[in-house]
Protein backbone atom coordinates (compact mmCIF):
# COMPACT_ATOMS: atom_id res chain seq x y z
CA UNK A 1 0.00 0.00 0.00
CA UNK A 2 3.00 2.26 0.45
CA UNK A 3 3.22 2.80 -3.32
CA UNK A 4 -0.38 3.99 -3.49
CA UNK A 5 0.06 7.46 -2.00
CA UNK A 6 2.70 10.20 -1.97
CA UNK A 7 2.98 13.34 0.10
CA UNK A 8 3.68 16.44 -1.96
CA UNK A 9 5.99 19.29 -0.85
CA UNK A 10 2.96 21.50 -0.12
CA UNK A 11 1.56 18.93 2.30
CA UNK A 12 -1.14 17.59 -0.02
CA UNK A 13 -1.29 13.94 -1.07
CA UNK A 14 -1.41 12.26 -4.45
CA UNK A 15 -2.82 8.75 -4.81
CA UNK A 16 -0.54 7.03 -7.27
CA UNK A 17 -2.66 4.05 -8.22
CA UNK A 18 -6.23 3.81 -9.36
CA UNK A 19 -8.42 0.75 -9.05
CA UNK A 20 -11.21 -0.27 -11.44
CA UNK A 21 -14.61 1.13 -10.59
CA UNK A 22 -18.16 0.08 -11.41
CA UNK A 23 -20.99 2.57 -11.92
CA UNK A 24 -24.37 2.15 -10.32
CA UNK A 25 -27.17 0.86 -12.53
CA UNK A 26 -30.88 0.98 -11.76
CA UNK A 27 -31.90 -0.42 -15.15
CA UNK A 28 -34.41 -3.23 -14.45
CA UNK A 29 -33.69 -4.73 -17.88
CA UNK A 30 -30.05 -5.38 -16.98
CA UNK A 31 -28.81 -8.94 -16.49
CA UNK A 32 -27.80 -8.25 -12.91
CA UNK A 33 -29.94 -9.70 -10.11
CA UNK A 34 -29.37 -6.49 -8.13
CA UNK A 35 -30.23 -2.87 -8.96
CA UNK A 36 -28.01 -0.07 -7.65
CA UNK A 37 -28.20 3.67 -7.23
CA UNK A 38 -26.00 6.37 -5.64
CA UNK A 39 -27.51 8.92 -3.27
CA UNK A 40 -25.66 11.81 -1.59
CA UNK A 41 -26.41 12.34 2.10
CA UNK A 42 -24.00 15.22 2.82
CA UNK A 43 -23.14 17.42 -0.20
CA UNK A 44 -20.70 19.53 1.84
CA UNK A 45 -18.54 16.53 2.70
CA UNK A 46 -19.26 14.75 -0.60
CA UNK A 47 -20.40 11.69 1.29
CA UNK A 48 -22.87 9.31 -0.28
CA UNK A 49 -24.23 5.80 -0.30
CA UNK A 50 -24.74 3.15 -2.93
CA UNK A 51 -27.96 1.22 -2.40
CA UNK A 52 -28.26 -2.39 -3.57
CA UNK A 53 -31.77 -3.70 -4.14
CA UNK A 54 -32.43 -7.32 -5.18
CA UNK A 55 -34.48 -7.20 -8.36
CA UNK A 56 -36.81 -9.85 -6.97
CA UNK A 57 -38.07 -7.28 -4.44
CA UNK A 58 -39.72 -5.38 -7.28
CA UNK A 59 -41.43 -8.55 -8.48
CA UNK A 60 -42.51 -9.53 -4.97
CA UNK A 61 -43.83 -6.00 -4.42
CA UNK A 62 -42.39 -6.09 -0.91
CA UNK A 63 -44.17 -3.01 0.37
CA UNK A 64 -45.61 -4.48 3.57
CA UNK A 65 -43.58 -4.70 6.75
CA UNK A 66 -43.77 -8.49 6.82
CA UNK A 67 -42.33 -8.74 3.30
CA UNK A 68 -39.64 -6.11 3.59
CA UNK A 69 -36.02 -7.21 3.36
CA UNK A 70 -33.40 -6.95 6.11
CA UNK A 71 -31.19 -3.87 5.89
CA UNK A 72 -27.41 -4.22 5.75
CA UNK A 73 -25.28 -1.09 6.23
CA UNK A 74 -21.76 -1.73 4.94
CA UNK A 75 -18.47 0.07 5.60
CA UNK A 76 -15.76 -0.76 3.06
CA UNK A 77 -12.06 -1.22 3.74
CA UNK A 78 -9.00 0.38 2.21
CA UNK A 79 -6.76 1.43 5.08
CA UNK A 80 -8.79 4.62 5.64
CA UNK A 81 -7.12 6.28 2.64
CA UNK A 82 -7.96 4.39 -0.55
CA UNK A 83 -10.74 2.52 -2.39
CA UNK A 84 -14.32 3.74 -2.54
CA UNK A 85 -17.83 2.37 -2.58
CA UNK A 86 -17.56 2.30 -6.39
CA UNK A 87 -14.27 0.33 -6.44
CA UNK A 88 -15.16 -2.83 -8.35
CA UNK A 89 -13.93 -5.19 -5.62
CA UNK A 90 -16.14 -3.45 -3.04
CA UNK A 91 -19.08 -3.13 -5.44
CA UNK A 92 -19.00 -6.81 -6.39
CA UNK A 93 -18.81 -7.86 -2.73
CA UNK A 94 -21.92 -5.81 -1.90
CA UNK A 95 -23.72 -7.00 -5.02
CA UNK A 96 -23.12 -10.62 -4.03
CA UNK A 97 -24.00 -9.86 -0.42
CA UNK A 98 -27.35 -8.39 -1.44
CA UNK A 99 -28.13 -11.49 -3.50
CA UNK A 100 -26.87 -14.09 -1.04
CA UNK A 101 -28.43 -12.49 2.04
CA UNK A 102 -31.62 -11.43 0.24
CA UNK A 103 -31.18 -7.97 1.75
CA UNK A 104 -31.11 -4.31 0.87
CA UNK A 105 -27.49 -3.17 1.24
CA UNK A 106 -26.40 0.43 1.84
CA UNK A 107 -22.67 0.89 1.24
CA UNK A 108 -21.32 4.10 2.81
CA UNK A 109 -18.76 6.40 1.21
CA UNK A 110 -16.90 8.21 4.00
CA UNK A 111 -14.18 10.85 3.91
CA UNK A 112 -10.62 9.63 3.37
CA UNK A 113 -7.49 10.11 5.44
CA UNK A 114 -5.05 11.81 5.58
CA UNK A 115 -7.01 14.78 4.25
CA UNK A 116 -9.68 13.89 6.81
CA UNK A 117 -8.16 11.95 9.68
CA UNK A 118 -10.12 9.86 12.14
CA UNK A 119 -12.69 10.43 13.55
CA UNK A 120 -13.99 11.92 10.27
CA UNK A 121 -14.82 8.47 8.86
CA UNK A 122 -16.59 7.55 12.12
CA UNK A 123 -18.62 10.77 11.93
CA UNK A 124 -19.64 10.06 8.35
CA UNK A 125 -20.52 6.44 9.08
CA UNK A 126 -22.73 7.54 11.95
CA UNK A 127 -24.29 10.32 9.90
CA UNK A 128 -25.27 7.74 7.29
CA UNK A 129 -27.33 5.91 9.93
CA UNK A 130 -29.03 9.15 10.88
CA UNK A 131 -29.83 9.75 7.20
CA UNK A 132 -31.22 6.24 6.75
CA UNK A 133 -33.65 6.61 9.65
CA UNK A 134 -35.36 9.65 8.11
CA UNK A 135 -34.79 9.60 4.36
CA UNK A 136 -37.66 9.41 1.90
CA UNK A 137 -35.50 7.41 -0.52
CA UNK A 138 -38.06 5.03 -2.01
CA UNK A 139 -35.84 1.92 -2.14
CA UNK A 140 -35.34 2.16 1.62
CA UNK A 141 -38.87 3.20 2.51
CA UNK A 142 -40.60 0.62 0.31
CA UNK A 143 -38.33 -2.39 0.46
CA UNK A 144 -36.04 -2.25 3.52
CA UNK A 145 -37.08 -3.16 7.04
CA UNK A 146 -35.07 -0.58 8.95
CA UNK A 147 -36.16 -2.17 12.21
CA UNK A 148 -34.11 -5.22 11.20
CA UNK A 149 -30.72 -3.67 10.53
CA UNK A 150 -27.24 -5.20 10.68
CA UNK A 151 -23.97 -3.29 10.32
CA UNK A 152 -21.04 -4.91 8.50
CA UNK A 153 -17.50 -3.61 8.10
CA UNK A 154 -14.47 -5.02 6.27
CA UNK A 155 -10.88 -4.33 7.41
CA UNK A 156 -10.68 -0.57 8.06
CA UNK A 157 -14.45 -0.67 7.70
CA UNK A 158 -14.50 -3.16 10.56
CA UNK A 159 -12.53 -0.66 12.63
CA UNK A 160 -15.09 2.00 11.68
CA UNK A 161 -17.86 -0.41 12.62
CA UNK A 162 -16.46 -0.75 16.15
CA UNK A 163 -16.55 2.99 16.81
CA UNK A 164 -19.95 3.36 15.14
CA UNK A 165 -21.27 0.50 17.24
CA UNK A 166 -20.09 2.27 20.38
CA UNK A 167 -21.76 5.52 19.33
CA UNK A 168 -24.95 3.91 18.06
CA UNK A 169 -25.38 1.91 21.26
CA UNK A 170 -25.54 5.22 23.13
CA UNK A 171 -27.99 6.76 20.65
CA UNK A 172 -30.66 4.10 20.25
CA UNK A 173 -33.58 6.47 20.81
CA UNK A 174 -32.15 9.10 18.47
CA UNK A 175 -31.76 6.51 15.68
CA UNK A 176 -35.34 5.17 15.94
CA UNK A 177 -37.11 3.82 13.95
CA UNK A 178 -33.80 2.39 12.69
CA UNK A 179 -33.11 -0.59 14.93
CA UNK A 180 -29.74 -2.32 14.93
CA UNK A 181 -29.84 -6.04 15.64
CA UNK A 182 -26.20 -6.99 15.27
CA UNK A 183 -22.66 -6.06 14.22
CA UNK A 184 -20.61 -8.15 11.79
CA UNK A 185 -16.85 -7.59 11.80
CA UNK A 186 -15.19 -8.91 8.62
CA UNK A 187 -11.40 -9.07 9.07
CA UNK A 188 -11.48 -5.95 11.31
CA UNK A 189 -8.34 -3.82 11.27
CA UNK A 190 -6.90 -3.07 14.72
CA UNK A 191 -3.42 -2.19 15.91
CA UNK A 192 -1.18 -1.53 18.88
CA UNK A 193 2.33 -0.43 19.76
CA UNK A 194 3.56 -3.85 20.93
CA UNK A 195 3.70 -6.29 18.02
CA UNK A 196 1.71 -9.49 18.32
CA UNK A 197 2.96 -12.88 17.14
CA UNK A 198 0.75 -12.80 14.04
CA UNK A 199 2.02 -9.31 13.19
CA UNK A 200 5.62 -10.47 13.52
CA UNK A 201 4.93 -13.53 11.36
CA UNK A 202 3.20 -11.32 8.80
CA UNK A 203 5.85 -8.60 8.61
CA UNK A 204 6.18 -9.31 4.86
CA UNK A 205 2.59 -10.42 4.30
CA UNK A 206 1.68 -10.11 0.59
CA UNK A 207 -1.66 -8.46 1.37
CA UNK A 208 -0.96 -6.15 4.33
CA UNK A 209 2.77 -6.13 5.21
CA UNK A 210 3.82 -4.30 8.35
CA UNK A 211 5.11 -1.27 6.47
CA UNK A 212 1.65 -0.81 4.95
CA UNK A 213 -0.33 -1.27 8.15
CA UNK A 214 1.95 1.21 9.90
CA UNK A 215 1.33 3.67 7.07
CA UNK A 216 -2.44 3.26 7.49
CA UNK A 217 -2.18 4.27 11.13
CA UNK A 218 0.28 7.07 10.38
CA UNK A 219 -2.13 8.57 7.86
CA UNK A 220 -5.38 7.75 9.63
CA UNK A 221 -4.87 8.47 13.33
CA UNK A 222 -5.04 11.98 14.77
CA UNK A 223 -1.68 13.74 14.47
CA UNK A 224 0.53 12.81 17.40
CA UNK A 225 -1.41 9.64 18.31
CA UNK A 226 0.31 6.25 18.41
CA UNK A 227 -1.12 2.81 17.70
CA UNK A 228 -2.36 2.45 21.27
CA UNK A 229 -4.91 5.20 20.67
CA UNK A 230 -8.44 3.84 21.21
CA UNK A 231 -9.17 4.30 17.51
CA UNK A 232 -6.48 1.75 16.71
CA UNK A 233 -6.47 -0.41 19.83
CA UNK A 234 -10.02 -0.85 21.17
CA UNK A 235 -8.73 -2.63 24.26
CA UNK A 236 -6.91 0.57 25.22
CA UNK A 237 -10.23 2.44 25.50
CA UNK A 238 -10.85 3.33 29.16
CA UNK A 239 -14.59 3.08 28.42
CA UNK A 240 -14.34 -0.49 27.09
CA UNK A 241 -16.29 -2.17 29.89
CA UNK A 242 -18.94 0.57 29.94
CA UNK A 243 -19.42 0.24 26.19
CA UNK A 244 -19.61 -3.56 26.40
CA UNK A 245 -22.20 -3.39 29.18
CA UNK A 246 -24.38 -1.11 27.06
CA UNK A 247 -24.12 -3.40 24.00
CA UNK A 248 -24.85 -6.43 26.16
CA UNK A 249 -27.93 -4.78 27.67
CA UNK A 250 -29.25 -3.93 24.21
CA UNK A 251 -29.12 -7.60 23.29
CA UNK A 252 -27.00 -6.98 20.22
CA UNK A 253 -25.25 -9.99 18.73
CA UNK A 254 -21.75 -9.74 17.26
CA UNK A 255 -19.97 -11.86 14.65
CA UNK A 256 -16.22 -11.58 14.07
CA UNK A 257 -14.98 -13.29 10.88
CA UNK A 258 -11.40 -13.67 9.71
CA UNK A 259 -8.55 -16.04 8.96
CA UNK A 260 -5.39 -17.17 10.72
CA UNK A 261 -3.07 -15.99 7.91
CA UNK A 262 -4.08 -12.39 8.60
CA UNK A 263 -1.37 -10.37 10.42
CA UNK A 264 -4.20 -8.82 12.44
CA UNK A 265 -5.46 -12.27 13.51
CA UNK A 266 -4.13 -12.10 17.08
CA UNK A 267 -5.75 -8.72 17.66
CA UNK A 268 -9.06 -10.00 16.30
CA UNK A 269 -8.84 -12.97 18.68
CA UNK A 270 -8.08 -10.64 21.61
CA UNK A 271 -11.05 -8.50 20.58
CA UNK A 272 -13.33 -11.55 20.69
CA UNK A 273 -11.98 -12.76 24.03
CA UNK A 274 -12.36 -9.34 25.63
CA UNK A 275 -15.95 -9.09 24.38
CA UNK A 276 -16.74 -12.52 25.81
CA UNK A 277 -15.09 -11.59 29.11
CA UNK A 278 -17.45 -8.62 29.38
CA UNK A 279 -20.50 -10.73 28.62
CA UNK A 280 -21.19 -9.60 25.06
CA UNK A 281 -22.92 -12.16 22.83
CA UNK A 282 -20.16 -12.68 20.24
CA UNK A 283 -19.53 -15.51 17.78
CA UNK A 284 -16.17 -16.00 16.07
CA UNK A 285 -15.83 -17.39 12.54
CA UNK A 286 -12.13 -17.84 11.74
CA UNK A 287 -11.07 -20.01 8.81
CA UNK A 288 -7.68 -21.69 8.79
CA UNK A 289 -5.49 -20.56 5.92
CA UNK A 290 -7.47 -17.43 5.03
CA UNK A 291 -5.50 -14.20 4.52
CA UNK A 292 -6.74 -10.67 5.19
CA UNK A 293 -9.86 -9.70 3.23
CA UNK A 294 -9.82 -12.84 1.08
CA UNK A 295 -13.55 -12.73 0.36
CA UNK A 296 -13.04 -9.31 -1.26
CA UNK A 297 -9.98 -10.16 -3.35
CA UNK A 298 -11.02 -13.75 -4.18
CA UNK A 299 -14.79 -13.61 -4.72
CA UNK A 300 -15.04 -17.41 -5.08
CA UNK A 301 -14.48 -17.65 -1.31
CA UNK A 302 -17.29 -15.24 -0.43
CA UNK A 303 -20.33 -17.58 -0.60
CA UNK A 304 -19.13 -19.58 2.44
CA UNK A 305 -18.88 -16.35 4.42
CA UNK A 306 -22.36 -15.28 3.39
CA UNK A 307 -23.78 -18.65 4.47
CA UNK A 308 -22.45 -17.96 7.97
CA UNK A 309 -23.66 -14.36 7.94
CA UNK A 310 -27.15 -15.45 6.84
CA UNK A 311 -27.29 -17.96 9.70
CA UNK A 312 -26.18 -15.19 12.05
CA UNK A 313 -28.84 -12.78 10.79
CA UNK A 314 -31.47 -15.48 11.17
CA UNK A 315 -30.17 -16.18 14.71
CA UNK A 316 -29.33 -19.74 13.66
CA UNK A 317 -25.72 -19.91 14.91
DSSP string across 96-126: HHHHHHT-EEEEEE-PPTTTS-TTHHHHHHH
CA torsion 293→162→180→305, rounded to 10°? 20
Please state the rounded mean pLDDT for residues 308-314: 97
pLDDT tens string 130-163? 999 999 999 999 999 999 999 999 999 999 999 9
- The number of beta carbons lying within 10 Å of the beta carbon of residue 181 is 18
Express each pLDDT in 194-252 by its tens digit: 999 999 999 999 999 999 999 999 999 999 999 999 999 999 999 999 999 999 999 99
Taking the C-alpha atoms of residue 273 and residue 276, their distance in angstroms, rounded to an integer, is 5
Which residues, other chains included, contact 145 with Cβ-Cβ below 8 Å and sequence gap of 6+? 65, 68, 69, 70, 71
Average pLDDT over residues 22-31: 92
Residues 111-132 pLDDT 10s: 999 999 999 999 999 999 999 9
Give the per-residue pLDDT at 42: 98
* pLDDT one-digit tens code per residue, 60-113: 754 455 689 999 999 999 999 999 999 999 999 999 999 999 999 999 999 999
Whether residue 293 contacts residue 283, with contact meaning beta carbons closer than 8 Å, is answered with no
Distance (Å, whole) CA 248 – CA 278: 8
Kindly list the catalytic residues: 155, 262, 292
Cα 204 to the center of its chain, rounded Å:
25
Number of neighbours of residue 237 by Cβ within 10 angstroms: 16
Domains of the chain: 15-314 (3.40.50.1820)
Cα 297 to Cα 130: distance, rounded to the nearest angstrom: 31
**Res 15: pLDDT:** 83
- 21 versus 17: the higher-pLDDT residue is 21
> Distance of CA 163 to CAs 123, 272, 285, Å?
9, 15, 21
For residue 2, name the pLDDT band (cuts at 50, 70, 90): very low
Q: Check residue 13 and give its pLDDT.
A: 83
pTM, full prediction: 0.96
- Cα–Cα distances (Å) from 115 to 204, 218, 281, 304, in that order, read 27, 12, 36, 36
**pLDDT surpasses 90 at 5:** no
Mean pLDDT of the chain: 95
pLDDT at position 1: 43
* Rounded Cα gap, residues 54 and 243, in angstroms: 35
User: Which residues neighbour 282 within 8 Å (Cβ) at sequence distance 6 or greater?
Assistant: 253, 254, 255, 256, 272, 275, 276
Amino acid sequence: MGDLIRQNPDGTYTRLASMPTTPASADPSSLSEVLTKDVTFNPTNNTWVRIYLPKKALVDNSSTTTNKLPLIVYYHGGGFYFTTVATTLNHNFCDTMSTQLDAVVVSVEYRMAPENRLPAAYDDAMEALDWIKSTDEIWLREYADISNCFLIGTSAGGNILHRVGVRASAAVEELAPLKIRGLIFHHPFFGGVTRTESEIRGVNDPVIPQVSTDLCWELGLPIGADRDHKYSNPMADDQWSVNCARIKNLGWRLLVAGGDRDPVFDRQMMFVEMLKKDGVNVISHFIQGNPHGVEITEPSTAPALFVSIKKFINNDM
